[in-house]
């Protein structure tokens, strides 16, 4: 059976023998065989075919071809749920409860009140699963074996969370803001998926409760009728089908905060720290690391010698903004700058492209490396962690020139 691993090892073999560049290092990155064997393209209601990673709960990723444009269409957007009991919400009956021990004026909102009682705002932002690319970890780790497509970029419209919280009368003792959705576990022993944000992040002007995605109501599988949007942070905080917002005077201590979505302390250089949830050894995952992918070509593609080849892709980070994308055609020995496309905002995918002409037949290893405006760049070696988070290893695409 031909797999990504076979292709990379064959085409990059020459680099390994000569000790050439990053190619020999990146040849190890491959999805486990079980993930390859079980991956099928399937349609969920309202969606184009997506790559199935699990049925219950539904976890489906977007193929690379769906990232041709900076904005990911709703019907091509990835799907991620933690619990199997996904509610079919009647928008007429939906209510958003705002309260908590640190709120002096608890209240409820209908969907119409959410839309009409607060100034609407829009933000273009990447929603990326914390475990995106987990399946490429070496050694492999437990969890949904995502490839490159557990993410998407959309134009989100909604109400600023800080405006909603202002009506609740937050006390000065407020430490965190907790969120619960309408989804429920199939078994009583499974902990409900409840997450929190530090108060300062909840009050950021870019954090919103969204009810539209790319100019349309949120799709059912992406959180209809309303969800939290936390630009720059990974999607574990982007609560879908949100029904409860609670202001807390003490840190939330459930499984999903104290046990899950954590990384070893000091492993990553976070600018945004979640201090109230840190302990001696671990810290919550927060911001998205700088990253990029090649979208125009995939492993094993054949290109023609002497014919111009246009290489395209996208780059993104936590909101510092993309400064440049460099491309290598020699396994990482040398790099040249690509052209950046339209800037849709600092939280958005940034398109890039470059044109090159292969002059010799045989293997051609192409790589892309993004840098943001703070000087952070992608890594050549995986920063390993047991949950498989923050994989921003430089991508290698192995082509054959004929």
Same domain, 387 and 363: yes
Same domain, 146 and 241: yes
Same domain, 300 and 280: no
Classify residue 375: in a domain, yes or no: yes
How far is residue 58's CA from residue 223's CA, in Å, rounded to a whole number?
Answer: 13
Q: What is the pLDDT of residues 283-326, one digit of tens each?
A: 999 999 999 999 999 999 999 999 999 999 999 999 999 999 99
Domains in the chain, number: 2
Same domain, 323 and 252: no
Classify residue 38: in a domain, yes or no: no
Domain assignment of residue 151, given as a range: 80-284
Same domain, 382 and 273: no
Q: What is the pLDDT of residues 359-393, one digit of tens each?
A: 999 999 999 999 999 999 999 999 999 999 999 99
How far is residue 49's CA from residue 90's CA, in Å, rounded to a whole number?
Answer: 26
Classify residue 24: in a domain, yes or no: no
Cβ-contact 120, 365 below 8 angstroms: no
Q: What token pair was written down for 69?
A: 């444009």
Q: How confident is the model at residue 189, as a pLDDT?
A: 87
How far is residue 127's CA from residue 240's CA, in Å, rounded to a whole number?
Answer: 12
Q: How confident is the model at residue 24, as a pLDDT?
A: 46
Same domain, 370 and 230: no
Same domain, 313 and 166: no
Coil vs helix vs strand at 276: helix
| Other beta carbons within 10 Å of 33 | 11
Q: How confident is the model at residue 29, as a pLDDT?
A: 62
Low-confidence ranges of the chain (pLDDT < 70): 1-29
> Which residue, 238, 264, 284, sits at the end of a domain?
284
Classify residue 65: in a domain, yes or no: no
Cβ-contact 107, 354 below 8 angstroms: no
Q: How confident is the model at residue 27, as a pLDDT?
A: 44
Indicate the pTM of the whole model: 0.92
């Amino acid at each position: 059976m031909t797999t990504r691993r076979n292709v990379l090892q064959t085409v990059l073999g020459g680099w390994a023998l000569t000790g050439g560049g990053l190619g020999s290092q990146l040849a190890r990155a491959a999805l486990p065989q079980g993930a390859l064997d079980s991956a099928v393209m399937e349609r969920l209601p309202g969606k184009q075919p997506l790559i199935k990673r699990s049925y219950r709960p539904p976890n489906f990723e977007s193929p690379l071809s769906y990232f041709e444009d900076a904005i990911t269409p709703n019907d091509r957007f990835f799907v991620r749920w933690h619990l199997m009991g996904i509610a079919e919400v009647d928008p007429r009956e939906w209510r958003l409860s705002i309260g908590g021990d640190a709120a002096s004026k608890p209240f409820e909102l209908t969907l119409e009140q959410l839309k009409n009682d607060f100034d609407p705002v829009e933000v273009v932002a990447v929603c990326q699963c914390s475990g995106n690319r987990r399946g490429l970890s070496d050694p492999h780790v437990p969890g949904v074996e995502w490839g490159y497509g557990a993410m998407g970029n959309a134009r989100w419209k909604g109400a600023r969370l800080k405006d909603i919280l202002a009506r609740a009368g937050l006390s000065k003792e407020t430490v965190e803001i907790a969120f619960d959705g309408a989804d429920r576990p199939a078994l009583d022993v499974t902990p409900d998926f409840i997450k929190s944000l530090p108060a300062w992040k909840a009050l950021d002007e870019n954090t919103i409760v969204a009810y539209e995605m790319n100019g349309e109501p949120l799709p059912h599988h992406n959180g209809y009728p309303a969800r939290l949007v936390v630009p720059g942070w990974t999607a574990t905080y982007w609560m879908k089908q949100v029904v409860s917002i609670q202001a807390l005077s003490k840190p939330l201590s459930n499984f999903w905060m104290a046990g899950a979505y954590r990384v070893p302390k000091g492993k990553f250089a976070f600018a945004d720290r979640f201090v109230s949830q840190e302990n001696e050894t671990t810290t919550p995952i927060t911001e998205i690391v700088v990253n990029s992918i090649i979208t125009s070509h995939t492993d094993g593609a054949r290109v023609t010698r002497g014919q111009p080849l246009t290489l395209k892709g996208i780059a993104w980070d936590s909101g510092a903004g993309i400064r440049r994308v460099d491309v290598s055609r020699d396994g990482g020995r040398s790099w040249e700058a690509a052209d950046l496309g339209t800037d849709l905002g600092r939280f958005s995918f940034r398109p890039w492209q470059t044109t090159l002409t292969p002059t010799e037949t045989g293997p051609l290893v192409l790589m892309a490396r993004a840098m943001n405006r703070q000087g952070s760049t992608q890594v050549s070696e995986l920063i390993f962690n047991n949950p498989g988070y923050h994989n921003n290893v430089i991508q290698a695409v192995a082509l054959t020139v004929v």
